[in-house]
Amino acid sequence: MTPSNRLEALRQWTTVVADTGDIDEIARLKPTEATTNPSLILKAARTARGEAILAAARCANESPRLRIDRVVTDFGKAILEHIPGRVSTEVDARLSFDTRATVEKARRLIALYEAGDISRERVLIKIAATWEGCEAARVLEQEGIHCNMTLIFSLAQAKAAAQAGATLISPFVGRIYDWAKKEAGDAWNEAENAGVKDPGVQSVTAIYRTLKAAGSKTQIMGASFRNLGEITALAGCDLLTIAPKFIDALRRDEAPLERVLSSDTLTPTAPVAITESEFRWETTMSAMANEKLAQGIRAFAADTETLEKLLV
């Protein structure tokens, strides 16, 4: 049966994930999966359903830092009522450089889910793709706690996450586009940097081809989109996490959509491998990856602290 719109066409090859913490929006959109982060949870906390979740968490005899765990998992539980697949729940970004603390926090989040009769198979624990975060994922995956490595801006990060056995990685598109556009200034040419030529799209494409050619089982989920062209240029990626406004736009668009990414024609290579020193050097030498990773961690940490204040 011929797809009636671009959203249906995309779903032939790619799992569509809702990039929002808004429970009502997820119920309306009916995506396969959903992903959250501190910024999305903070925004969703200001909705009527979000306020109810915060009110319940305030009743817990715990510190605000621990109450946040209840908030993010309660959002996740509510979201899971409306999707058949998995929800991603993020570890406190302030733990991004502490492997042991990240592991302990992930175990607590999973325990809260399981206390609510949610199987760990339906949850992805989101962790910033620092070296320490990837090492935490290595431990957690061995315990059957599946990880979504986020804030990925480089091939080095993708390799480290895949090497650790992470279930899924989230390479960002829009934030790379933002950085490149800002760097170019007046010299930026939108037409020359659109679609498959978008610097963020090219980054995800390189990651996809490298990991697939190496036979990695790690799933790749493009994230952080600025326009529809970025999404359609990654048709065929394992998953794409898409904001509601773009999901709606794809549903309204009846133009044909062709698959762009496929592993069928790739030449097999050796498994991915990267040492800690190589990871740190490559990250340091990429001004974009270094800057955007740090910026992302700072932003998520700030939103987590704001959320804490709402739980006092």
Residue 218: what pLDDT? 98
Residue 73 has pLDDT above 90, yes or no: yes
Q: What pLDDT, on a 0 to 100 scale, did the predictor assign at position 209?
A: 98
Stretch 47-58: mean pLDDT: 95
Element (H, E) at 131: helix 131-142
Checking DSSP bridges between strand 168-171 and strand 147-152, what pairing results, if any? parallel
High-pLDDT (> 90) share of the chain, %: 98
Q: How large a percentage of the chain has pLDDT more than 70?
A: 100
What integer is the mean pLDDT of 280-302?
97
Which tens digits make up the pLDDT trace of 196-247? 999 999 999 999 999 999 999 999 999 999 999 999 999 999 999 999 999 9
Burial degree of 244 (CB within 10 A; 0-12, 13-18, 19+) = middle
| Mean pLDDT of all residues in 87-107 | 98
Q: Tell me, what's the pLDDT at 217?
A: 98
- Please write the tens of the pLDDT for every residue from 156-178: 999 999 999 999 999 999 999 99
pLDDT at 309: 94
* Model pLDDT for residues 24-43, shown as the tens digit of each residue: 999 999 999 999 999 999 99
**What mean pLDDT do residues 244-260 have?**
97
Catalytic residues: 126
Res 240: pLDDT:
98
Cα separation, 68 vs 70, in Å, equals: 5
- 306 closest CA partner among 110, 23, 94, 34: 94
Tell me which residue of 224, 240, 220 sits closest to 232, measured CA to CA. Answer: 240
Q: Residue 1: what pLDDT?
A: 76
